[in-house]
Structure 1
C-alpha cells in the first residue's frame, strides 16, 4: 500500500493537497484537503485504468461547482426545514440558503473548508477541522474524517466529531458515481429498501414513509434509465430521493463491474445529475448518480427518522463503505 501527497492547487491563499492511496491491485483513491473531497476512485481492468466517480482536475472547479462534487457535506447533510430546530426545548435559527430552508448546513459548511491532513498508517488519510458556530449552528465542533482503502478494493469513510455544546452531526460524501463511461441510463441500481420518504415541493420530507413502487422501486436490479422513464408521467426528470436502508444499502453495476454500498446509518439519498456539462444538465441528460449515505434528511424535525443530535462532550463516529467488484 502506498500513499503519495502532491500539491493540487490553492484556494484563499491556502494550499490544497491531494493524497493518493494505491493498493496491491493498483486500485487507488485520491482525496483532497479542500472539503475533504473524494477526488477519484480508479481501478485497473485488463491493463486499463477506469475511473468510477465524477471528478475535476483543478481546485477552481471544486470551489465553483453547485453540485458539491465529491465533497464532504455537513455538519448536517441535506435540508433542515425552515432552517430551524430544537434540542431540549432550546430553539436554534440557522441562516437559510435554500428558500426558507438550509441545505448541507449553509454557505459555510464543511464543503467550504480546507482541512488539515495527515497520512495515517499506509492505507489511510485523516482530515481534521474545527468549525465554530457557522451559519447559526451551536457549538465548537471538532471533526475528523478518515479515508481508508484496503486490498479488497473497499473504501471506508469514517466521520467522527466532538462538540462543546449540544449540536447536530450528520455528514456525508456527495460523491457521484459514473461507472459506465457516462451512460448512466444503462447502469443498473438495486436499493435494499422497501420505503422512501414522501417529499413536498421544497424537497423536504413530509414525515410520511411511502412503499417503493413503480419508478421508485429498486428492490431488484433495474436500469436507471428505466426508472427515469417511469418518472416522466409524474412530470419529474430526475431522482432526488431518500430511501430507508440498513447495512448493505445498495449496489450499482454494469456488465463489467459493481460497487456495493454499506452504512451504519439509516438513509441513502440518490440524485441523478450532470455536474460536468451544464448544457446536458439543462435537458436532463444525466451522466452520474450521487449516492449519499447518511441519517435520513431533516431527522431533527421528525421523531422517527433517526438521531442526529451530538450532545456536549460526547464523541460520535459513523462509517460508510464502498466496495468495488470486477464482474468479468
Structure 2
C-alpha cells in the first residue's frame, strides 16, 4: 500500500494537492484537497486500467462545474425548504441559494473550500476544514474527511464533525459512477429500497413516502436505460430522486465489474447527468449516474427522516463504503 502527494493546481496562491492511494492489486483512488474531492477510482484488470467514476484531469473544470463532480457536499446535502429550520425551539434562517431554498449548505459550502491536510498514513488521507458561520449557520464546525482504500478494493469515506453551537451536519460525496465501457444506459442498477421521496416542483421533499414501483423499482437489477424509458409516460427524462435505504444500499454494474454501495445512514440520491458535455446533457445523453449516500434531505423539517442535528459540544461520524468487484 502506498500514498503519493502531488500538486494538482492552485486557487489564487494556495496549492491544491492530489493524494493517490494504491493497494497491492494496483487499485487506486485519488483525492483532491479542493472540496475533499474523490477525483478518481481506478482498477486494473488483465493489465488494463479502468476508471469507475466521472472525473476531470484539471482543477479549472472542478472549480467551474455546476455538477459538483466527486466533491464533498455540506455541511448539509440536499435542499432545506425555505432555508429555515428550528432546533430546540430556536429558529434559524439561512441564506437561500436556490430560489427560496438552501441547496447543499449554501454558496460557501464544503464543496467550495480547499481542505487542509490533517494526516496521511499507509492507506488513508485525512483532510480537514473549519467552517465559521458561513451562509447563516451559527458557530464553528470542524470537519474531517477520511478517505481509505483497503487491500480488498473497498473505499471508505468517513465524515467526522464537532461543533461549538447547535447546527446541522449531513454531508455526502457527489460521486458519479460509470463502471463500464458500455453506455451508462446499458449498465445495471439495483437499489435495496421500498420507498422513495415525494418532492414538490422545487425538488424539496413533501414528507410523503412513495412506493418504489415501475420506473423507481430497482429492487431487482435492471438497466438504467430501462428505468429512464419507464419514466417517459410521466414526462420525465432524468432521475433526480431520493431512495430510502440502509446498510447495503445499491449496486451498479457493467458486464465486467460492479461496485456495491454501503451506508450507515438512510438515504441515497440518484441523478443521471453528463457533467462533461452540457449539450448532450440537455438532450438526455447521459454519461454517468450520481449516487449520493446521506441522511434523507430536509430531515430537520420531517420528524421521521432521520437526525441531522449536531448539538453543541457533540461529535458525530458517518461512513460510506464502495466495494469494487470483478465479475
Are residue 23 (structure 1) and residue 23 (structure 2) matched? Answer: yes
TM-score, with structure 2 as normaliser? 0.99
Q: How does 1:54-65 map to 2 (within 5 A)?
A: 54-65=54-65
Are residue 67 (structure 1) and residue 67 (structure 2) matched? Answer: yes
Kindly indicate whether the alpha-carbon contact (under 8 Å) linking 1:79 and 1:204 is maintained by their aligned counterparts in 2: yes
* 1:220 matched residue in structure 2: 220
Are residue 316 (structure 1) and residue 299 (structure 2) matched? Answer: no
Cα distance in 1 for partners of 2:158, 2:275 equals 25
* 2:190 matched residue in structure 1: 190
* 2:36 matched residue in structure 1: 36
Distance apart, 1:120 and its partner CA:
2.7
Kindly indicate whether the alpha-carbon contact (under 8 Å) linking 2:182 and 2:254 is maintained by their aligned counterparts in 1: no
Kindly indicate whether the alpha-carbon contact (under 8 Å) linking 1:182 and 1:287 is maintained by their aligned counterparts in 2: no
Kindly indicate whether the alpha-carbon contact (under 8 Å) linking 1:259 and 1:322 is maintained by their aligned counterparts in 2: yes
Distance apart, 1:254 and its partner CA:
1.2
Are residue 138 (structure 1) and residue 138 (structure 2) matched? Answer: yes
* 1:305 matched residue in structure 2: 305
Cα distance in 1 for partners of 2:233, 2:247 equals 33
Q: How does 1:143-162 map to 2 (within 5 A)?
A: 143-162=143-162
Are residue 292 (structure 1) and residue 292 (structure 2) matched? Answer: yes
Distance apart, 1:118 and its partner CA:
4.1
Distance apart, 1:195 and its partner CA:
0.6
Gaps of 5+ in 2: none
* 2:114 matched residue in structure 1: 114
Q: Which runs of 4+ in 1 moved over 4 A?
A: none
Partner of 1:231: helix, strand, or coil? helix
Distance apart, 1:181 and its partner CA:
3.1
Cα distance in 2 for partners of 1:292, 1:128 equals 20
Partner of 1:63: helix, strand, or coil? helix
Distance apart, 1:282 and its partner CA:
1.1
Cα distance in 1 for partners of 2:217, 2:138 equals 38
Kindly indicate whether the alpha-carbon contact (under 8 Å) linking 2:156 and 2:319 is maintained by their aligned counterparts in 1: yes
Distance apart, 1:12 and its partner CA:
2.6
Cα distance in 2 for partners of 1:148, 1:182 equals 28
Cα distance in 1 for partners of 2:312, 2:65 equals 34
Distance apart, 1:167 and its partner CA:
0.1
* 2:123 matched residue in structure 1: 123
Distance apart, 1:279 and its partner CA:
1.1
Change (3 A) 1:268 1:176: same
Q: For residues 172-198 of structure 1, what are the alpha-carbon distances to aligned partners after superposition, in whole Å with 9 as ceiling and x for unaligned? A: 000000112361100100000001101
- CA RMSD between the two structures: 0.7
* 2:96 matched residue in structure 1: 96
Kindly indicate whether the alpha-carbon contact (under 8 Å) linking 2:180 and 2:255 is maintained by their aligned counterparts in 1: no
Change (3 A) 1:37 1:182: farther
Q: For residues 54-80 of structure 1, what are the alpha-carbon distances to aligned partners after superposition, in whole Å with 9 as ceiling and x for unaligned? A: 000111110110000000000000000
* 2:171 matched residue in structure 1: 171
* 2:245 matched residue in structure 1: 245
Partner of 2:62: helix, strand, or coil? helix
* 1:230 matched residue in structure 2: 230
Cα distance in 2 for partners of 1:283, 1:289 equals 16
Partner of 2:160: helix, strand, or coil? strand
Gaps of 5+ in 1: none
Cα distance in 1 for partners of 2:214, 2:139 equals 43
Kindly indicate whether the alpha-carbon contact (under 8 Å) linking 1:67 and 1:275 is maintained by their aligned counterparts in 2: yes
Cα distance in 2 for partners of 1:118, 1:159 equals 13
Kindly indicate whether the alpha-carbon contact (under 8 Å) linking 2:178 and 2:289 is maintained by their aligned counterparts in 1: yes
Cα distance in 2 for partners of 1:183, 1:81 equals 35
Cα distance in 1 for partners of 2:104, 2:14 equals 23
